[in-house]
Amino acid sequence: MIDLDYLNFLENILTENRKSKFLKVLENRTKHFTIVVEDVFQMHNSSAVMRSCEVFGIQELNVIEERYGKSIDKEIAMGAQKWVDINKFDNVTHCVDALKNQGYQIIATTPHENDCLLEDFDISKPSALFFGTERDGLSNEVLQKADGFLKIPMAGFTESLNVSVSAAIIIQNLTNRLRQSEIDWHLSQEEILEKRLAWAKSSIKDIKRIESRYFSEL
């Protein structure tokens, strides 16, 4: 449970414009879809996917780092790392199991399966959308564990897109359709409170000193 007194204390430090912006953004945040990148070895690509998540309202990005370690390219992410939740996994099995336990179906994005075109994808089910590299695609393990496949329709000779471009196209399409639907895709009230607290803390300079003062006065 969120300590509402503490939340109010921190938010009173923020400007009214900042608090209003938080609420407006949170109204458009969703966990109905979550994004997974598997071993995207080029740091700028995973950072660009994170930025697309933030821009289009996806709250969580899952990163599988089985073969390559990576860190955030802050110039590409443009601050998105402050507003998107990053879940890291050391292998596919742990990631898939965790997401299925949360009620997500596993959807592999790949140009090599003709299961479902983007415009025909059923948005009603909570879905975890997996993206691999342009060079290698998704691993066989992801493809075997997938509940379905999704592809972007293409009209040219090229068979694949850069992962960050593919993610941006799919995320924009699905979130736009989601907001025009009657599906209950919003964050819960508890999740909104959690984000308000986390974002307030990330926005306040010298938060450790302020926290210490607050709790010492209780």
pTM of this structure:
0.89
Closest CA relative to residue 34, chosen from 176, 217, 171: 171
The confidence band for 81, taking pLDDT boundaries of 50, 70 and 90, is: confident
pLDDT at 75: 43
Of the candidates 105, 106, 66, the residue with the CA atom closest to the CA atom of residue 88: 66
Backbone angles phi, psi at 133, to 5 degrees: -85, 155
Average pLDDT score over the chain: 88
46-75 average pLDDT score: 78
Q: What is the mean pLDDT of residues 179-194?
A: 97
What pLDDT does residue 60 have?
Answer: 96
Three-class DSSP category at 159: coil
Question: How many Å apart are CA 142 and CA 48, to the nearest integer?
Answer: 22
Per-residue pLDDT at 134 exceeds 90: no
Give the per-residue pLDDT at 6. 93
Average pLDDT over residues 19-46: 88
Domain locations in the chain?
32-213
pLDDT at 76 over 60: no
Binding residues for S-adenosyl-L-methionine, by number, are 109, 152, 161
173: Cβ contacts below 8 Å, ≥ 6 apart: 118, 119
Binding residues: 109, 152, 161
Predicted pLDDT at 47: 84
Burial of 46 (0-12, 13-18, 19+ CB in 10 A): buried
CATH number of 32-213: 3.40.1280.10
User: How much of the chain is in helix, strand and coil states, percent to nearest 5?
Assistant: 45, 15, 35
- Is the torsion defined by CA of 189, 191, 196, 201 positive or negative? positive
Sheet containing 85-89: which strands, arranged edge to edge?
Answer: 85-89, 60-64, 33-38, 127-131, 105-109, 148-150
The pLDDT tens digits for 164-174 are 899 999 999 99
Is residue 104 within 8 Å of residue 128, measured between CB atoms?
Answer: yes
Q: Per-residue pLDDT for 33 more than 50? A: yes
Looking at residue 39, its pLDDT comes to 74
**pLDDT recorded at residue 135:** 67
pLDDT of residue 78: 43
